[in-house]
């Protein structure tokens, strides 16, 4: 079994924050692969299903970001998992928006969710780092991560989350390099296709999600914007 953990803060008011892109990623996986409804488990919500040949538990801790390790630690102990079977999706200030990298272990780069996980389960879990970019001044970081994605972000966010969802079976089968290559290629292909579209079409596509993202997103669901991308 693999444990896919999305990091974020529970509650509709946080649902489209940059800091919640880990929640968005596991929501996308659940929607794309027909996982059953989320239910309360391990101080959060979880859904169990199949990705390829692998059984996967998706988990969104309900303990808030700074205490994510409490929830994840419960799941790890319950299933007696090795850290190599724990895959954590999280926002990363040191990657440009729209970039994604997979790594095992390493530092936490000041990320409070990762700090909590490392304190509770150890450090050698797999991280899926989802770039959100870093603001120019250090004092702006807190507001940056706890603010909703900007309208201009939607044009890369949808393809990225869609590609993560589509490539998730490779990640579940421990083919992290293959997964990373698939996501990079899919996002690049989408960007090239977007460049070929007439400017009015692009403007309409960028503007469309704006009103939708102001609405609260129910726990365990995707916004209608992401559902359209995934075709679900």
Give me the active site residues, please: 19
Spatial CB neighbours of 165, under 8 Å, sequence gap ≥ 6 = 25, 28, 29, 31, 32, 33, 230
The phi and psi torsions of 102 (rounded to 5 degrees) equal -115, 130
Q: Which contiguous run of DSSP H or E holds residue 61? A: strand 54-61
Q: Burial code of 27-62, b = ≥16 C-beta within 10 A, e = fewer?
A: bbbbbbbebeebeebbbbbbbeeebeebebbbbbbb
Q: Which contiguous run of DSSP H or E holds residue 40? A: strand 39-41
């Amino acid at each position: 079994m693999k444990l896919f953990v999305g990091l974020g803060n529970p509650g509709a008011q946080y649902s489209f924050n940059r800091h919640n892109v880990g929640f968005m990623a596991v929501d996308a996986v659940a929607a794309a692969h027909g996982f059953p409804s989320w239910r309360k488990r391990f101080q959060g919500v979880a859904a169990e299903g199949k990705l390829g040949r692998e059984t996967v538990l998706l988990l969104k801790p309900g303990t808030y970001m700074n205490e994510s390790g409490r929830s994840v630690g419960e799941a790890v102990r319950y299933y007696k998992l090795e850290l190599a079977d724990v895959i954590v999706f999280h926002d990363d200030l040191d990657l440009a928006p729209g970039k994604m990298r997979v790594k095992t272990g390493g530092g936490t780069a000041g990320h409070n969710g990762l700090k909590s996980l490392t304190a509770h389960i150890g450090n050698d879990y797999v991280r899926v780092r989802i770039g959100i970019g870093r603001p120019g001044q250090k004092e702006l970081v807190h507001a940056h991560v706890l603010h909703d994605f900007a309208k201009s972000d939607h044009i890369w966010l949808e393809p990225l989350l869609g590609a993560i969802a589509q490539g998730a079976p490779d990640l579940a089968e421990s083919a992290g390099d293959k997964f990373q290559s698939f996501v990079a290629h899919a996002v690049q292909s989408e960007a090239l296709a977007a460049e070929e579209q007439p400017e009015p079409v692009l403007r309409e596509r960028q503007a469309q999600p704006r009103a939708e993202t102001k609405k609260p997103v129910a726990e365990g669901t995707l916004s209608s914007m992401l559902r359209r991308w995934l075709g679900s």
